[in-house]
């Protein structure tokens, strides 16, 4: 009994000692992911179509912000807006060929029409596509809230597991859905 208590206490102490390293690893992976996302010129944005088939398109995203939310500009009449209204689960893939590196965000998207948020999250590169920039009715935002992030970046030492090829993965705390 005494030895098993020592083992439990030792295991608990080892776990406590490991937490700062885990937090540092998480922070380093998130910093690397931010860098990859920002270097990627475009992202692939994937929704689920009416027939359940994944629908992919290229988008010019903004972000990630401090919570790793990524912002996508679009016209409210697009297929992706209708698809997200029915099924908010989405996936985004950012690829930096110079790395080479990629980040995948798995989460949900919500439509944002609030004028203040649209102004705050406006990206000047979007101007050619919207008549009155962030003020027009032809412009809405999609806020992509990640549930999980996956990253592979050799430059940052973040590589796939050699046995099953799974990438480094980070789960985000649950947030209220769209």
Closest CA to 90 of 46, 149, 57: 46
How much is the pLDDT for 33? 97
Lowest mean per-residue pLDDT among 2-6, 25-29, 134-138: 2-6
Quote the pTM value: 0.83
Convert the pLDDT of each residue in 75-107 to its tens digit: 999 999 999 999 999 999 999 999 999 999 999
Lowest mean per-residue pLDDT among 2-6, 46-50, 97-101, 120-124: 2-6
Convert the pLDDT of each residue in 139-172 to its tens digit: 999 999 999 999 999 999 999 999 999 999 999 9
How much is the pLDDT for 8? 36
Helix residue ranges, H only, 40-176: 79-86, 115-120
Residue 44 near residue 55, CB atoms below 8 Å: no
Number of H helices, E strands in the chain: 3, 8
Q: What percent of the chain has pLDDT over 70?
A: 84
Task: Write down the domain spans for the chain.
Answer: 2-171
Q: What is the mean pLDDT of residues 70-75?
A: 97
Is the CATH code 2.30.110.10 the one for domain 2-171?
A: yes
Closest CA to 105 of 170, 38, 158: 170
Secondary structure E strands in 24-153: 43-48, 54-59, 61-62, 70-74, 89-96, 101-112, 140-153
Task: Give the separation between CA 18 and CA 20, rounded to whole angstroms.
Answer: 6
pLDDT score of 138 more than 90: no
Closest CA to 109 of 83, 88, 95: 88
Pick the more confident residue, 10 or 143. Answer: 143
CB atoms within 10 A of CB 130: 18
């Amino acid at each position: 009994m005494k030895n098993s208590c020592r083992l439990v206490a030792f295991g608990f102490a080892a776990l406590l000692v490991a937490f700062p390293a885990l937090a540092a690893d998480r922070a380093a992976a998130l910093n690397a992911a931010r860098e990859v996302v920002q270097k990627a010129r475009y992202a692939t944005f994937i929704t689920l179509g009416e027939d359940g088939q994944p629908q992919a398109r290229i988008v010019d995203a903004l972000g990630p912000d401090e919570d790793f939310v990524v912002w996508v500009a679009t016209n409210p009449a697009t297929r992706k807006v209708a698809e997200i209204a029915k099924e908010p689960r989405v996936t985004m893939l950012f690829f930096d060929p110079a790395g080479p590196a990629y980040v995948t965000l798995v989460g949900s998207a919500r439509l944002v029409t609030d004028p203040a948020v649209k102004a705050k999250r406006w990206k000047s590169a979007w101007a050619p596509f919207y008549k009155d920039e962030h003020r027009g009715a032809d412009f809405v935002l999609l806020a992509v809230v990640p549930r999980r992030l996956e990253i592979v970046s050799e430059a940052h030492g973040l590589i796939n597991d050699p046995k099953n090829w799974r990438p480094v993965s980070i789960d985000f705390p649950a947030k209220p859905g769209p």
